[in-house]
Amino acid sequence: MIPGPTNMPDRVMNAMQRPVINHKSEEFRELHRSVIEGTKYAFQTQNDVFVLTCSGTGGIECAASNIVSPGDKVVVPVSGVFSQRLKENFERFGATVIEIPIEWRKAATPSQIREVVEREENVKAIGIVYNETSTGVTMRGLDEVGKIAEEHGALLVVDAISILGGDRLPVDEWKVDVCVTGSQKCIACPPGVVMVSVSERAWEIIAKSRRGSYYFDLMKCKEFQEKLETPYTPAIPLFYALDEALKMLKEEGLENRIKRHKVCADAFYDATQTLGLTFFADPQVRSNTVIAVNIPQGVEDKAWRDLMLKYGVAIGGGLGKLKGSIIRIGSMGIISKVEVNETVSVLGKSLAELWKPVDVDAAIAAAEKVFASSS
């Protein structure tokens, strides 16, 4: 129950056993075609999409390094570890980042972004972490930001690593120019591959940009993808796994998966609150995939997480300046009532030992109520 990697369906794990084929063969091209098709469905896009062998941060480097040339101006609201990382990636490739500092429990609003983009001139891109995994906060109004970007000739670059498949993100409808997601979160595939989409407007910029990374050069990816190949040897077992995971997404239906994430998150929020706990995120922008819970006074972070682990549930700790003050529950991928109730039960049991008596039955009942009203 950490905020990714998530638990894996057997079908996805078994897919990795298929033979490691020649990545320049017809068989690979067929696999690649299927993965691309599945990714376009997940992204709800007709844009080009690419699958890269790397972890999520590699996907962010890909986005940043292809878009900016030294001196370009980029606007990034920073409200946690991953938006800080997005900012640093743009800077590493020479961008001047106009940071919008945001209280960590909140998210930037479209009007805050509009104001900065209008004040600054020639903004090349707006970089948004849609779901800040470190704080359990999802930005709302991303579709508005897409309009702002287009109006001002800027690109909208979205880090959707811990949310795509778990909340709405219709890439084309919302005018997202470059969208990055990971395999190991709501897609329920092992880590090691990322998916990146690129709009027509983004291609115009990329073709003329400095493209500071060799490995992540999207022009090279595009050239090879025309033959359904990758420029460098792909992680073939992970391509099989991703293909299977994307097929499972298609079978469930994107809308259904998003609803399932929302219901499980609501159940988590209600149950956890019933245990007497409070949340880090502002309720208006709380995430449907990462539940950030404040550690109650008197409870020690590591002792709590270790005890939960002893009872069979792994959860995440706080990152950066939140280390020791919050825990994070990942509610992603193949999450269902079973995992929610088990986690709530272990949360309660451990709190009863480390903190004070809590009503686990009432908490489970609160979760059950959410599940009942959703079906």
Report the residue number, 329 or 358, with the smaller CB distance to a copy of itself: 329
Minimum separation from the CB atom of position 93 to a copy of itself (A): 8
Minimum separation from the CB atom of position 346 to a copy of itself (A): 15
Report the residue number, 27 or 361, with the smaller CB distance to a copy of itself: 27
Whether the link from the prior residue into 237 is cis, omega within 30° of 0, is no
Report the residue number, 43 or 93, with the smaller CB distance to a copy of itself: 93
Minimum separation from the CB atom of position 185 to a copy of itself (A): 10
Report the residue number, 53 or 341, with the smaller CB distance to a copy of itself: 53
Q: List all residues 6 or more positions away from 334 whose beta carbon is below 8 Å from its beta carbon.
A: 6, 7, 8, 9, 188
Minimum separation from the CB atom of position 13 to a copy of itself (A): 6
Q: List all residues 6 or more positions away from 348 whose beta carbon is below 8 Å from its beta carbon.
A: 275, 358, 359, 360, 363
What is d(CA 71, CA 125) in angstroms, rounded to the nearest whole number? 12
What is d(CA 35, CA 242) in angstroms, rounded to the nearest whole number? 7
Minimum separation from the CB atom of position 314 to a copy of itself (A): 5
Report the residue number, 33 or 323, with the smaller CB distance to a copy of itself: 323
Report the residue number, 309 or 365, with the smaller CB distance to a copy of itself: 309
Tokens of 22: 């020649």
Minimum separation from the CB atom of position 265 to a copy of itself (A): 20
In the complex, which residues of this chain contact a copy of itself (CB under 8 A)?
2, 4-8, 13-14, 16-17, 19-25, 53-58, 60-61, 64, 88-89, 92, 182, 184, 190-193, 212-216, 231-238, 241, 314, 316-317
- Cα-based angle 131, 132, 136 (whole degrees, multiple of 5): 90
How far is residue 116 from each of residues 91, 294, 343, 345, measured CA to CA in Å?
18, 32, 42, 45
How far is residue 213 from each of residues 67, 69, 258, 261, measured CA to CA in Å?
11, 11, 34, 35
Tokens of 8: 């894996």
- The amino acid at residue 194 is V
